[in-house]
A and B are shown apart, each in its own frame.
Chain A
Amino acid sequence: MGVIVTGIVVEKVTRHFAGQPVLKGVSLAVAAGEFVALVGPSGCGKSTLMRLIAGIDRPDGGRILINGRDVTALRPAARNVAMVFQSYALYPHLTVAENIAVPLSMRRMGVAQRLPLIGRIWPGSRAARRGIAEDVRSAALALGLTNLLERRPSQLSGGQRQRVALARAIVRQPAAFLMDEPLSNLDAALRVHTRREIVEIHRRAGAATLYVTHDQSEALTMADRVAVMQAGEILQVASPRAIYADPDDLRVATFIGSPRINTLPAEIDGHGLTRVAGFPTGVRLCGAERITGAATLALRPEDLYLADGGIPATAEGLEFLGESLLLHARHVGTGTALVVRLPPELVPDLPPGSRVTLGFDPARALLFDARGRRLRDTAVVPEPSLV
């Protein structure tokens, strides 16, 4: 990782709550113009990290830099970041236009100018107000809020409130955007639609964007890079494609992907050959990573198929999804549950209890050591039983 001057840089940040470590030395960099999604299960520390970057909370250790400036000790107001909250946190007594104007009036007008009555006649406030009104109008235009400017938040739908929160964030062109699960209060259809809009807004604004979510499909569809977080640690930061197809860690592999990746307990012998319950898989570990003993072989549901030879399993049920079909089965040797994604037109009648054999391409199998670290240096051994 080179030195990134612009954008958000988090260096070895730690945070404890009541003696419990919530962040265990987290480092992350979001370049200017980049969209990074921070994804992880609830309670993994992702919202805490976001609050630290915004300055609402202070880290116990480590540094936070925004556009090259160390902001660790600065108040939120001095950091020039904008944040969209899960609850939107709109001011209920202000109209949409006033809500969007708040970040501007806090910056551009003095204390006296902001006062309700005196502020109107205070010198210079008319020009400041006119500038603010113009910027509010263009932010509202960008989010299609022009007709709603005089409404109060309570008169808006969830999606509209969300747009107001976004408009309030973009109106002052911040150095960084922070979004804390901004879509989780919307219904499913609106969520998919708003995803595209947020990406579009990000592209136009060009600021570093950190987007916190527990929804992996949001992370994969929206982000340039995805950071997977678990138990206070960032496990991997990579492009959505790499996170899905080439995970560093078994926890990343099992967290990303739905249905969950299949994991089979495996054995690596002295020659590097991998077996599952005595069955040769055709995956050989080679090179420097000479590890023997217990390991895990992971296979995406779409990488398994029905074959004449392969790992033996018992069918347990079928789930029709429209474009595909999920076969739930159980591995005969280890009793591990398996899910296979199949094209719906190819599946024969499989009553529960019937025996199937599942084939796979060894080149697509992912091998992990006993501690869950990825073993990358693998090769395919031609194996007659796995045609």
Chain B
Amino acid sequence: MSEAVLSAAPARREGATGEALTAWALGLPAVLAYLVLLLLPTLAAILLAFTDYELGAPAFAWIGLDNFSELLRDRGFAQALRNTVFYVAVVTPGSILGALALALLIEAGTRGRTLFRAVFFLPVVSLTVAMASAWQYLLHPSIGPLNAVLRQVGIDGPAWLSSSDTVMWSLAAIGIWENLGFNLVLFLAGLTAIPREMYAAAEVDGAPSAWERFRLVTWPMLGPTTLFVLTITMIRSVRVFDTVKVLTQGGPNRASEVLLHAMYLEGFTYFRLGYSAAITLVFLAIVLALMWLQTRVLDKRVHYG
């Protein structure tokens, strides 16, 4: 018995080693791609955040946390952070509730499902930069159709994108329009997955209204979908950049400055790569915090284990 074990064990270990080697060899391309394309750049960004490196500079110095203490004092950065939070706080509920309402309407209807899905999904597949010029025209204070309509009813519409009072609201509205279709398609998929029998049961149990059936069946059964949509939308809206870059460049007077645009300015206009990397780290921390919130806190409440 013990002999058999002794002679069998090394053979098996060799086999296991060979298997592990094969596994690593097969995994190597993916591992390399992950290292070179994701892990190393992230690591480089983290290192850069602790230097005063500027693009084209012959040397750089380690300055520790100086970049971060500068961020704390930088009123432009504070403004960008506030604006980003505002943007996320408007776009996330706006596009989720809007998409949910539309999905329920489309699902309840008998005709035109494909058409409506396509119509609302269009902004997702279209190029944001190109669509932004359309928005620029729509929101133009003098020649834009929106203000023309408002003038018809006697309202003097504001300069939507060039007044610091309205610019963030305008950008958020465009953000909702951008995210709505994506969320809509996710909600439609989630709604299709709810068994019809659940609604039948709710009706027999006496749920008197559509609202009551929504509360009893649709909303809880959509929980996992809603959580996913929430996470995706928050991350997508923290990343807002294209519309800001094309429409306002953060103006007027930094009233529409957002996190990624500030980072872009520092890195690619002022070439302060170290400082820009510090902003990137803040951005990364926010995204990771949101993901943590999803997996640790909310996940337990929507999967009824």
Q: Which residues of A contact B (CB under 8 A)?
A: 51, 54-56, 75-77, 81-83, 85-87, 89, 91-94, 102-103, 106-107, 111, 114, 152-155, 168
Residues of A close to B223: CB separation below 8 A: 93
Provide the bound-state CA to CA distance between A250 and B304, in Å. 50
Contact A93 B197 (CB under 8 A): no
Which of B195, B206, B208, B212 is the one whose CB lies under 8 Å from A89?
B195
Provide the bound-state CA to CA distance between A75 and B198, in Å. 16
Closest Cβ–Cβ distance, residue B194 to chain A (whole Å): 11
Contact B203 A56 (CB under 8 A): yes
Q: Which residue of chain A has the shortest Cβ distance to B200 in the bound complex?
A: A56
Contact A93 B304 (CB under 8 A): yes
Residues of B close to A107: CB separation below 8 A: 206
The yes or no answer to B201 lying at the interface (CB within 8 A) is yes
Q: Which residue of chain A has the shortest Cβ distance to B304 in the bound complex?
A: A92
Residues of B close to A94: CB separation below 8 A: 220
B residues 186-239 near A (Cβ < 8 Å) are 195, 197-198, 200-201, 203-208, 212, 216-217, 220-221, 223
Residues of A close to B198: CB separation below 8 A: 89, 91
The yes or no answer to B112 lying at the interface (CB within 8 A) is no
Provide the bound-state CA to CA distance between A93 and B208, in Å. 20
Contact A76 B204 (CB under 8 A): yes
Q: Which of A51, A86, A102, A114 has the most CB of B within 10 A?
A: A102
Residue-wise interface mask of B (252-282) relative to A, using a CB-CB cutoff of 8 A (1 in contact, 0 not): 0000000000000000000000000000000
Closest Cβ–Cβ distance, residue B211 to chain A (whole Å): 8
Provide the bound-state CA to CA distance between A134 and B233, in Å. 44
Count of B residues near A, CB < 8 Å?
19
Contact A92 B220 (CB under 8 A): yes
The yes or no answer to B305 lying at the interface (CB within 8 A) is yes
User: What 18 new A-B contacts, CB under 8 Å, besides A85-B197, A93-B220?
Assistant: A55-B203, A77-B203, A81-B204, A83-B200, A89-B198, A89-B200, A91-B216, A91-B217, A91-B220, A92-B220, A92-B304, A93-B223, A93-B304, A94-B220, A102-B205, A103-B206, A106-B208, A153-B304
Residues of A close to B220: CB separation below 8 A: 91-94
Contact A56 B208 (CB under 8 A): no
Q: Which residues of B contact A (CB under 8 A)?
A: 195, 197-198, 200-201, 203-208, 212, 216-217, 220-221, 223, 304-305
Closest Cβ–Cβ distance, residue A232 to chain B (whole Å): 21
Q: Which residue of chain A has the shortest Cβ distance to B301 in the bound complex?
A: A93
Which of B195, B207, B221, B304 is the one whose CB lies under 8 Å from A106?
B207
Provide the bound-state CA to CA distance between A89 and B208, in Å. 18
Contact B304 A77 (CB under 8 A): no
Q: What are 19 A-to-B residue pairs whose CB atoms are below 8 Å? A: A51-B200, A54-B200, A55-B203, A76-B200, A77-B205, A81-B204, A83-B204, A87-B195, A89-B198, A92-B304, A93-B304, A102-B206, A102-B216, A106-B205, A106-B206, A111-B212, A152-B305, A154-B305, A168-B205
Residues of B close to A77: CB separation below 8 A: 203-208
Residues of A close to B204: CB separation below 8 A: 54-56, 76-77, 81-83
Provide the bound-state CA to CA distance between A114 and B304, in Å. 21
Contact B197 A89 (CB under 8 A): yes
Contact B304 A75 (CB under 8 A): no
Residues of B close to A81: CB separation below 8 A: 204
Provide the bound-state CA to CA distance between A77 and B204, in Å. 5
Residues of B close to A87: CB separation below 8 A: 195, 197
Provide the bound-state CA to CA distance between A154 and B303, in Å. 10
Provide the bound-state CA to CA distance between A54 and B204, in Å. 7
Residues of A close to B197: CB separation below 8 A: 85-87, 89
Q: Which of B197, B212, B305 has the most CB of A within 10 A?
A: B197
Provide the bound-state CA to CA distance between A87 and B203, in Å. 16
Q: Which residue of chain A has the shortest Cβ distance to B219 in the bound complex?
A: A93
Q: A82-B204, A154-B305 known; A106 and B212 CB under 8 Å? A: yes
Residues of A close to B212: CB separation below 8 A: 106, 111, 114
Q: A102-B216, A106-B212 known; A85 and B205 CB under 8 Å? A: no
Q: Which of A85, A86, A153, A154 has the most CB of B within 10 A?
A: A85
For the complex of A and B, the 7 pairs showing the least CB-CB separation, nearest first, are A106-B206, A89-B201, A93-B220, A76-B203, A77-B206, A103-B205, A92-B304
Closest Cβ–Cβ distance, residue A90 to chain B (whole Å): 8
Provide the bound-state CA to CA distance between A111 and B207, in Å. 10
Residues of B close to A103: CB separation below 8 A: 205-206
Residues of B close to A51: CB separation below 8 A: 200
Provide the bound-state CA to CA distance between A102 and B206, in Å. 8
Q: Which residue of chain B has the shortest Cβ distance to A115 in the bound complex?
A: B215
Closest Cβ–Cβ distance, residue A324 to chain B (whole Å): 40
Q: Which residue of chain B has the shortest Cβ distance to A76 in the bound complex?
A: B203
Provide the bound-state CA to CA distance between A83 and B217, in Å. 17
Q: Which of B200, B206, B221, B304 has the most CB of A within 10 A?
A: B206
Residues of A close to B304: CB separation below 8 A: 92-93, 152-154
Residues of A close to B200: CB separation below 8 A: 51, 54, 56, 76, 83, 85, 89
Closest Cβ–Cβ distance, residue A162 to chain B (whole Å): 14
Which of A92, A152, A153 is the one whose CB lies under 8 Å from B221?
A92
Provide the bound-state CA to CA distance between A77 and B195, in Å. 19
Residues of A close to B205: CB separation below 8 A: 77, 102-103, 106, 168
Q: Which residue of chain B has the shortest Cβ distance to A92 in the bound complex?
A: B304
Provide the bound-state CA to CA distance between A374 and B116, in Å. 58
Closest Cβ–Cβ distance, residue B254 to chain A (whole Å): 41
Closest Cβ–Cβ distance, residue A261 to chain B (whole Å): 35
